[in-house]
Amino acid sequence: MKILVVEDEKELLSSIESYLKSEGFLCETTGDFNKALELIDIYEFDCLIVDLTLPSGNGLDIIRKLKSKNTNTGIIIISAKNALDDKLLGLELGSDDYLTKPFYLSELNARIKALMRRRNFNGSNIKIFGAISIDLNTHQVKIGSQELTLTKTEFDLLIYFSSNRNKVLTKEAIAEHLWGSNVDQADSFDFIYSHIKNLRKKITDSSGIDPIKTVYGLGYKFINNELT
């Protein structure tokens, strides 16, 4: 899962980044209003964590910009302000949650996971796609009763594909989702082929039906429609 954190308090930003990375999230961070606008214009994120009070602008304007793109990015506001008007305006603009500083990082983590469950898995921790079951809390994946041993990248790929069922995902979009802006340094997307190949092989080796189909010239599509 790829997260953008916009926070101008350097110590808090560093703490959030370290904690979320330890939880397995891919984090992009900035304390600059204009840089945040640039990042959301170039890249797609699963979740935006944004402070309302920034030195060079208002976090609400970042939310407005993001919503104008009509993306499915989840939004969590973090702010020292506890004013009802700010909270209501943020929610009206399309934010999903609001945390007042100070807060525990474990609570932020729980809010992120709850947001992703609501958006991608209808509020459930466990989703089943045909014979494939995915547990978001334990990162356990099974084909029937047989557990798959997946790398972190393979698990992230499976979540990304299953959250975008029946959509064509380009190699560029997949690479960006997994590695964020660092993907700009890649010479090719050969590493994407390897990770997808390994994931598909582990599914079929466990007698599962491969739900990831190649769309030649475009990318890949997760087409297992047996969602429960």
Candidate from 31-35, 94-98, 117-121, 161-165 with smallest mean pLDDT: 117-121
* % of the chain surpassing 90 pLDDT: 38
Q: What pLDDT is attached to residue 18?
A: 94
The average pLDDT across 4-9 equals 95
Degrees, nearest 5: CA angle 228-172-165: 15
Where is pLDDT greater, at 122 or 149?
Answer: 149
Q: How confident is the model at residue 203 (pLDDT cuts 50, 70, 90)?
A: very high
Identify the structural domains of the chain with CATH numbers, from first to last.
2-119 (3.40.50.2300), 126-227 (1.10.10.10)
Contact 45, 89 (CB under 8 A): no
Among 100, 209, 211, smallest CA distance to 163 is for: 211
pLDDT, the chain, mean = 86
- Give the integer Cα–Cα distance in Å for 168 and 145: 29
Residue 9 sits at φ, ψ, to 5 deg, of: -80, 105
The average pLDDT across 163-187 equals 77
For 210, which DSSP code? P
Q: How confident is the model at residue 181 (pLDDT cuts 50, 70, 90)?
A: low
- For residue 228, pLDDT over 60 is answered with no
- For residue 227, pLDDT over 60 is answered with no
